[in-house]
Amino acid sequence: MEFDFADQQPKLLMLMYGLIAFVLVVGGLLLLLDVVPAWFARRREAQLVAASASGAPLSRRPKQREGLFALFFLLPTLLLLTIGLVVPAIRTVLLSLMDRTSTNWVGLRNYSWMFSEDSIVRVLANSLIWVLLVPLVATAFGLIYAIMVDKVRFEAVAKSLIFLPMAISFVGASIIWKFVYAYRGEGDQIGLLNQIVVSLGGEPKQWLLESPMNTLLLIVIMIWIQAGFAMVVLSAAIKAIPADIVEAARLDGVNPWQMYWQITMPTIRPALIVVVVTLSIATLKVFDIVRTATNGNYDTSVIANEMYNQAFRYGESGQGSALAVFLFILVIPIVIYQIRNLRQQREG
Amino acid sequence: MAVFTRPRQAFVIAGVLGLALSATACGTGDDKKSSKAGSAECAAYDKYEGHDGKKVSIYASIRDAEADLLERSWSQFTDCTGIEIDYEGSGEFEAQLPVRVDGGNAPDIAFVPQPGLVKRFADAGKLKSLSADTKALAEQNMPADWLKYGTVNGTLYGVPLGANVKSFVWYSPKTFKEKGWEVPTTWDQLIALSDKIAASGMKPWCVGVESGDATGWPATDWIEDVILRTQGPEVYDQWTTHAIPFNDPKIVDAVDRAGSILKNEKYVNGGFGGVKSITTTSFQEAGVPVTNGKCAMHRQASFYANQFPEGTKVAEDGDAFAFYFPAIDPAKGKPVLGAGEFVVAYADRPEVQAVQTYLASAEYVNSRAKLGNWVTANNKLDIANVASPIDKLSVQILQDKTGTFRFDGSDLMPAAVGAGTFWKGMVDWLNGKQTAPVLQGIESSWPK
């Protein structure tokens, strides 16, 4: 097929506008963040110089000025947070108490629907399986791998092999795995898994059809993507263990097992928690994998996918909002735990 | 933490960026097309005069090759009237349209393939009623059946545009001739033929309902066609409007009858595997084995003609063609199931109304039909302008005034059922779940 530039002109123009807008915004922000503080700093410096030269007392309200200065930088963030997060969150909570037309109040009906409808209970159960398995298995894999490749000869290569899937989008990864699970009734199997089964003398299976196995197979995709993240963070934490501790332990004559449980684990514990928490939140929000691989069919749907379906495809904005609020509530304890954890670390 | 070493450097960069922007801004000068109004070829468009340079945005689910044909179909209208049509097709149309409309970013015109969605927007007061011209033209050119589907609470909002006929069974005339099989004209003949083909070692049917986001819809078409045939149009209307429940014995009976083909291991699924392969076989692929002898029949709408591999001759004596899905009960007539999209407007600016009127006109439907691959219920369509044999057959069926036409039921139902639990329920049903609990589940999900 020939590529006609004249034909594509509007699209190319759009592309160029996009690029220019991007450069302008990012460039503008960098400029702002560079120039404005520098200007303030220079002014303060000049004042200090002037003050010390004349022997007069320093400007009387430095604190207040610093407050203004902080506000200047906080304002855009606060504004964007309000518009993009706080207002929609409040609105979603309100919508979850209304019917599908978002005009009549229905109280908690959408929430009771959520827990009484069999198919939705199934969705909640699936989400639970996801959030239990993904963080644990992905972290475990990452940790074992990080320890195993630590200080071996081709460490960088071995690590990048596991880290590579991180670079693939969820949708891309799901499509890849969909091919792995692909099924052909007759003729050659195009799916890796079925080809293995067939070459071992088995019957090809429709992997994504049977619950709950299909959910587990989808979870494999997420683990495949996220194990690299866990591995990198944990590997960095392992490397950061002070050498003198390790040496002292060696001198005390610990075996590798003791070394692991008494030195490595306690030292990397904060990093471990960060990884598990991050993965838990990411798993609760999982949407792309389910939507790409099965579309939530065959009992594989999860909360985020169901929320999208209810709110945008079925026009049940009340029920969709209720699911969104529920998802939000599930994330809150994890976030609180994480914040407390960070605070303790800082104090400790 | 200075990003730039010197402020001056930063200003230079900013200045260069600014220059670059203003330079490109000059480069985009749009040489405005002036209308060719007044010339002879534009005589037919005189009534749409007076909106030169105005823009109308259209949003629909039609993409790729079909969208190109669509844009070509109104190119002369654009040239003559100077109304610029800004068309956008999206694969996420059904989900995105409500988002855009509720977000205050509605297109001027949308082609909505679901009367259920038309009703939703009309009830919410988002749609503009048709101009007097459009209404008159629609009532003159369109069958009453079709107008009913674009009408909400007595007001006509949607003008039918494209259409398709769903009550077709695809087969290979070549294979049928070789094997000496007859095209069945009654349900009993259809079953007898299926048994005969199954006995010959070939799977008589191939079915696939996978369709990404919309997985399950081809199975709902089966059910709708069977309900029309066993129960007749009145019960069908009661069913789509929820006047009788989804798990009514009449519906259970029809679903089981469809199951006698769809869930019969001896009958399905040619070239793909057992019954369970139906839900993972894409509907686009499902009918292709008809042409390579892996299966004999595939029930699918008229638009399936485009799915056959290139070089397949789609004709009465070719590699693939379709016959009418036989009637079951002669007393219920020869019903036809079909679907199509409706042109609705979210704005009532004069140029928007002009486009809407034009899309309902004889000039438009014929200019679109000439480009191929298109059918409409508009009775101003001259069948001589329809090229492909299957489209011709569809137009004949649609323009047959004695026939009973019914719109795709799942498109008439609320989206939570029609695009939700009904599709999902069919997937579960094909995967082995019993009829009664599936229909019970769909019934309980009907929005109260």
Cβ separation of A315 and B7 shorter than 8 Å?
no
Our CA-based measurement puts residue B117 at a distance from the nearest CA of chain A, in whole angstroms, of 9
Return the minimum-mean-pLDDT range out of A156-160, B29-33, B273-277, B328-332.
Answer: B29-33
Binary contact (B269, A185; C-beta < 8 A)? yes
Which pLDDT score is estimated for B26?
42
B168-334+413-444: same fold as B49-165+338-406?
yes
CA distance to partner chain A, nearest, from residue B323 (Å): 27
Strand partners, B162: B376
A141 falls within a domain:
yes
Sign (positive or negative) of CA dihedral A204, A209, A212, A215:
positive
Selecting from B14, B124, B276 the residue whose C-beta is nearest the C-beta of A206 gives: B276
User: Does residue B24 register a pLDDT over 50?
Assistant: no
Q: Would you call B104 an interface residue with chain A, using a CB distance cutoff of 8 Å?
A: no
Tell me: do A215 and A335 sit in the same domain: yes
Flag if A183 and B277 touch (Cβ within 8 Å): yes
Reported as a single tens digit per residue, the pLDDT across B154-191 is: 999 999 999 999 999 999 999 999 999 999 999 999 99
Per residue, what are the HEC states of B322-381?
EEECCECCHHHCCEEEEEEEEEEECCCCHHHHHHHHHHCCHHHHHHHHHCCCCCECCCCC
pLDDT tens digits along B119-147: 989 988 999 999 999 999 999 998 888 89
Q: Answer yes or no: do A313 and B271 touch at CB < 8 A.
A: no
B264: pLDDT confidence band, cut at 50, 70 and 90? very high
Closest CA to A235 of A133, A168, A148: A148
Token pair 């037309």: residue: A101
Strands B55-60 and B109-112: parallel
> Is B28 an interface residue toward A (CB < 8 Å)?
yes
Chain B segment 387-416 residues within 8 A of A by beta carbon are: 414-416
- Option in B2, B414, B441 nearest A38 (CB): B2
pLDDT at position B40 over 80: no
pLDDT at A47: 82
Ramachandran region, residue B346 (left: φ > 0; alpha: ψ -120 to 50; beta: rest):
alpha
* pLDDT given for residue B242 in this prediction: 94
DSSP state of B129: P
Is A111 contained in some domain? no
Q: Determine whether the interchain pair B273/A316 forms a contact, defined as Cβ–Cβ distance below 8 Å.
A: no
Give the tokens for residue A144.
């074992």
Give the residue from chain A lying closest to B273, CA to CA.
A185
The DSSP element (H or E) to which B4 belongs, if any, is: none
Q: Find the helix packing angle between A265-284 and A213-239, rounded to 10°.
A: 140
* Cβ neighbours of B188 (radius 10 Å): 11
Q: What is the DSSP letter of B298?
A: E
Query: Residue A251 sits in which domain range?
Result: 118-171+211-345
Asked, for residue A142, whether it belongs to a domain, the answer is: yes
CB contact, 8 Å: B17 with chain A? yes
Number of A to B CB contacts under 8 A, please give it: 99
Q: What residues in A contact B96, CB-CB < 8 Å?
A: 312
User: Quick one: what percent of chain B has pLDDT higher than 90?
Assistant: 61
* Residue in A38, A118, A183 nearest the CB of B280: A183
Tokens for B443, please give them.
């019934």
Half-sphere exposure of B42 (CA within 13 A, CB side): 17
Q: Say if A17 falls within a structural domain.
A: yes
Q: Please check whether residue A183 lies inside any domain of the structure.
A: no
- For residues A276 and A322, membership in a common domain is answered with yes
Q: Is B19 on the interface with A (CB under 8 A)?
A: no
Q: Given pLDDT bands bounded at 50, 70 and 90, which one contains residue B115?
A: very high
Q: Is the pLDDT of residue B2 over 80?
A: no
Q: Mutate which of A181, A312, A321 to disrupt the B interface (most B C-beta within 10 Å)?
A: A312
Quick check: is A205 in a domain?
Answer: no
Distance from the Cα of A141 to chain B's closest Cα (Å) equals: 32
Taking CB atoms and an 8 Å cutoff, what residues of chain A touch B421?
Answer: 119
- Interatomic CA distance for residues A337 and A280, integer angstroms: 12
The Cα of B285 is separated from the nearest Cα of chain A by a number of Å equal to 12
Contact B205, B298 (CB under 8 A): yes
Name the class of domain B168-334+413-444: alpha beta
CATH number at residue A228: 1.10.3720.10
Considering the domain architecture, whether residues A89 and A24 belong to the same structural domain is answered as yes
Selected from 3.30.200.20, 3.40.190.10, 3.40.50.300, 3.40.50.1820, the CATH number assigned to the domain covering B49-165+338-406 reads 3.40.190.10
Alpha carbons B149 and B119: distance in angstroms, whole number: 9
Query: Which member of A100, A206, A297 has the closest CB to residue B447?
Result: A100
CB A183 to CB B120 under 8 A? no
Residue A102 lies in a domain: no
Q: Which long-range contacts (CB under 8 A, 24 or more apart) does A64-69 make?
A: A69/A40
Reading the block at residue A331, the tokens are: 């994330």
The residues in B 161-200 lying below 8 A from A, measured between CB atoms, are: none
From first to last of its 348 residues, chain A has per-residue pLDDT tens of 456 677 778 888 889 999 999 999 999 988 888 888 888 888 888 888 888 877 666 555 556 777 887 888 889 899 999 999 999 999 999 999 998 888 889 999 999 999 988 889 999 999 999 999 999 999 999 999 998 888 888 888 999 998 999 889 999 999 999 999 988 877 788 889 999 998 998 888 888 888 889 999 999 999 999 999 999 999 999 999 998 988 999 899 888 888 888 888 888 988 999 899 999 999 998 999 999 998 888 889 999 999 999 988 888 889 999 999 999 999 899 889 888 888 887 876
Question: Do the strands B84-89 and B55-60 form a parallel or antiparallel pair, or are they unpaired?
Answer: parallel
**What's the gap in Å between the CA of B11 and the closest CA on chain A?**
8
Statement to judge: residues A128 and A160 lie in one domain:
yes
Q: Is A207 exposed, middle or buried (0-12, 13-18, 19+ CB in 10 A)?
A: buried
Q: Are residues A78 and A152 both part of a single domain?
A: no
Identify all chain B residues contacting A297, using CB atoms and an 8 Å cutoff: 215-216, 279, 424, 427
Complex prediction ipTM: 0.80
The pLDDT value given to residue B9: 56
Chain B (33-52) residues lying within 8 Å, Cβ to Cβ, of chain A: none
Q: Do B274 and A23 touch (CB under 8 A)?
A: no
d(CA A94, CA A322): 9
Q: Do A295 and B98 touch (CB under 8 A)?
A: no
Taking the CA of residue B76 and the nearest CA in chain A, the distance in Å comes to: 18
Note whether B7 contacts A20, CB cutoff 8 Å. no
Q: How far is A210 from chain B (nearest CA, A)?
A: 9
User: How far from the centroid of its chain's Cα atoms is residue A241's Cα?
Assistant: 26
Q: Do A35 and B24 touch (CB under 8 A)?
A: no
Beta bridge partners, B171, equal B321
∠ CA A31-A32-A35, rounded to 5°: 75
Contact between A253 and A263 (Cβ < 8 Å): no
Give the C-alpha separation, B283 to B208, whole Å.
5
Q: Does B420 touch chain A (CB under 8 A)?
A: yes
Of B7, B212, B213, the CB nearest to A35: B7
Is A28 in the same domain as A123?
no
Whether B17 sits inside 8 A of A209 (CB atoms) is no
Q: What gap in Å lies between CA A229 and CA A236, rounded to an integer?
A: 11
Contacts of A253 (CB under 8 A, 6+ apart): none
Domain boundaries, chain B: 49-165+338-406, 168-334+413-444
Q: Are residues A286 and A226 in the same domain?
A: yes
* Distance to chain A for B236, nearest Cα, Å: 22
Average model confidence (pLDDT) across chain B: 87
Q: Is the Cβ pair A314, B427 closer than 8 Å? A: no
Chain B hits for A95, CB-CB cut-off 8 Å, are none
At how many degrees (to 10) do helices B435-445 and B422-430 cross? 170
Q: Which single residue is written with the structure tokens 């069948």?
A: B383
**Is A297 within 8 Å of B424 (Cβ atoms)?**
yes
The count of domains in chain A is 2
Asked if residue A56 belongs to a domain, the reply is no
Amino acid symbol at A225 = I
Residues A226 and A339 both lie in one domain: yes
CA B431 to chain centre: 26
User: In chain B, which residue's Cα lies nearest the Cα of A119?
Assistant: B441
